[in-house]
Structure 1
């Protein structure tokens, strides 16, 4: 049953605007525009109102009014999501709730190694604030200059540090959430051990705003490593990359804090399309890795550990060539090569993207089988594979054949997904590793998950949001 009003009437808009003040009730089309189109241009929506509350109390009042008037609310952070979870639909009956003004770092507790932050805090701002206190907030994403903590938690973001530090869920100790009714669930605790019943926070972390609005959180901090060594290496095959990962993991253990795998093609795209980039190696290779070793003891310890890993890898012919960043500037350049791969791919026309995970040991088999499947669906399509090999998460993207028509190519989206996801399923993997479900993968979730799983999700959704106003049409 449709619970939404027929339209966002001037009277209804005025009632919402009174909560946040007219200045922060955005109604001008040119100001609304950035909130109704996501970065890939796949999910455009329509709304007559974007609300920018200043605090949790205003969010609570907005949700009470939304429940009273059965108005759908779409929470939005930095608008960097890739599956449409932050987008309103095209009905013009949904209100976008921007959390960008809830941007205070309420506390950094060095004794507890925690930070209490509001949802609108930009990830990079938190990283820098933690670093100023000698601490590390290890969540690291290509979009960290604009993505926000609330969105990171709502989508359970992963990134290059997930190998050692886990995903956003693993870094979260407590949350403050406004429920659809306007009730405030204050669970901003710093406890690492707490067995008092169900862990309710984990329903909201990864819930994509479908159960409530995360307004603040307590996140873990770690002591800043005293040494970090970053190396870019050329490997002859994915099998060699897997052996190199196993070798690095055996030698470094938890000190191995990053292990990325990249095909040659995405690197070529970056070198061709992203100004100021250069190839870090002279050796031509079909595959590359980017790995980091961190030490809490000393810079010398990190250097020696990385040297040991590289030396043994050379002896076993797992590496053809490698370079180690000698400065923060060189480190930034190596990271930029990896982070720019998604942006560079845009210049090559239509792209069919997959955010998959398989057991680490199955990565080489997946890549081999998926490459064959791609050519069966669209001969000449170009695989653009890169991602977080250390935790089995690959961004297995497929660009259109050279000279092909993008619109025509994207008509194969369903067939390409079906072929790739069949291999993922066969290998015991997941079709959504870190980008979430949103709108893009909602039907796929229902089609591929056990019936009891989707039924339980629907029961949870109905219990928290009986009026169906929280980010409707997303996830389930």
Structure 2
């Protein structure tokens, strides 16, 4: 242990401070394990009081704090950068579900609660927490809130911001703000919780959240559909939005490359459609009560085929088959990881520009970087596309770095022409800071600086992120 870590342990206790290299390793690597950070120590509090004490101890020792949840973020926002003055504050031990109130359609959970555990608890009580991510088996509620996570159900239920009723936060001065209200309507001035949602740990440490629940869907219909192009996928979404209304919870598009990538990660997956098509849609309807969801899906698909938008398709006959269809979407991401380090983007444009943006960006990438695989997929209804660029197998690391940098520049240049966003749901972290600052208006800079100075005047909370 270093002298600083020993002093930290003396203040907080050895049980809360981890400072040996081997034990710290998993806190110092990103989810893909291809980027390594550095820190003095890892603090693992067991209670909100422990978190407050850790903040005060770190301040006394001149240490900056990098809050960390499940460490599944994709922009290095929870990755410490300094072996001399950064500490990781892991929320993994604050993992209790404090209360669940089905009659109030709410639950209160601690920041370290795994997303899937919160969802399972809600389901056991006949409720549904709709946030759904590929990493839900390891990501934590505090991280979801601090990054304003998106996922596959945004179309119907909104971003994490729309699912939070209240927060408990430890401020940079060690004070605890208890804003864990479960009121749906509370118009008493400025909504303070919104300052911390999406602020990526730069203004305080979220230790608990009150969450909005809905009735558990008793009917789900999932379909994999083949279409002629992304343009047709967008047209099909517009039709679905009108005909299926708010009963549509997900509408994802995938290119044909998605399936071999998924099968590389999950060899047992079998493609359910026999033909080869230019684009695919994964669509889900869900609800409970008196609506016949199977009939609605069937009638919508018949309408889509009549209009020439659907070329082929399959409807899951069971929840097991539905999970298999979703495995292609999730396995595609794992398949990209197996191809080695690559460019991962998370951008958004207006829905009317989605197909044109993808076509233009992919064309410019193909011209400038022949041999690379550009793969676009994402959430049609909210204009969010993950346009990733995979260098060819065997590309040396130095050349790979240059390809990733060039591809990012090309995509951002096209994106700015379409007045899009460099981050639709993953946040800014450290990876997107330069691009983020480039796009800021002077007034935005002034407002952000004033906010940071008021809440964290010593700039000790997650340095290098957002501010």
TM-score w.r.t. the length of structure 1 is: 0.95
What's the CA shift string for 1:431-460, capped at 9, x where partnerless?
A: 101111010001111111212112211221
Match of 1:374 among 353, 356, 365: 365
SS in 1 for 2:104: coil
- Identify unmatched segments of 5+ residues in structure 1: 1-7
Separation in structure 1 between the aligned mates of residue 84 and residue 26 of structure 2, nearest angstrom: 15
Residues 373 and 389, structure 2, Cα contact 8 Å, conserved in 1: yes
Matches within 5 A, 1:134-213: 134-213=126-205
Match of 2:101 among 103, 109, 114: 109
What's the CA shift string for 1:213-250, capped at 9, x where partnerless?
A: 00001010000112110111111101110111011111
Separation in structure 1 between the aligned mates of residue 397 and residue 316 of structure 2, nearest angstrom: 38
Separation in structure 1 between the aligned mates of residue 420 and residue 110 of structure 2, nearest angstrom: 33
Matches within 5 A, 1:43-62: 43-62=35-54
Counterpart of 1:464 in structure 2 is 455
SS in 1 for 2:292: helix
User: How far is the alpha carbon of 1:324 from its aligned partner?
Assistant: 1.0
Residues 72 and 472, structure 1, Cα contact 8 Å, conserved in 2: yes
Counterpart of 1:475 in structure 2 is 466
Separation in structure 1 between the aligned mates of residue 368 and residue 439 of structure 2, nearest angstrom: 21
Which has the larger displacement, 318-327 or 210-219? 318-327
Separation in structure 2 between the aligned mates of residue 314 and residue 386 of structure 1, nearest angstrom: 23
Separation in structure 2 between the aligned mates of residue 149 and residue 19 of structure 1, nearest angstrom: 28
Counterpart of 2:257 in structure 1 is 265
Separation in structure 1 between the aligned mates of residue 187 and residue 376 of structure 2, nearest angstrom: 41
Separation in structure 2 between the aligned mates of residue 210 and residue 441 of structure 1, nearest angstrom: 15
User: How far is the alpha carbon of 1:18 from its aligned partner?
Assistant: 4.5
Separation in structure 1 between the aligned mates of residue 217 and residue 155 of structure 2, nearest angstrom: 16
Separation in structure 2 between the aligned mates of residue 375 and residue 404 of structure 1, nearest angstrom: 17
Matches within 5 A, 1:217-232: 217-232=209-224
1:274 aligns with 2:266: yes
Matches within 5 A, 1:222-371: 222-298=214-290, 301-371=292-362
Change (3 A) 1:14 1:273: closer
SS in 1 for 2:112: coil
SS in 2 for 1:74: strand
CA RMSD of aligned residues (A): 1.6
Residues 389 and 404, structure 2, Cα contact 8 Å, conserved in 1: no
Across the two proteins, how many residue pairs are aligned to each other? 467
Separation in structure 2 between the aligned mates of residue 117 and residue 143 of structure 1, nearest angstrom: 18
Match of 1:446 among 424, 437, 440: 437
Counterpart of 1:77 in structure 2 is 69
Residues 400 and 406, structure 1, Cα contact 8 Å, conserved in 2: no
User: How far is the alpha carbon of 1:69 from its aligned partner?
Assistant: 2.6
Match of 2:380 among 382, 389, 411: 389
Residues 44 and 90, structure 1, Cα contact 8 Å, conserved in 2: no
Residues 377 and 412, structure 1, Cα contact 8 Å, conserved in 2: no
SS in 2 for 1:97: strand
User: How far is the alpha carbon of 1:272 from its aligned partner?
Assistant: 3.1
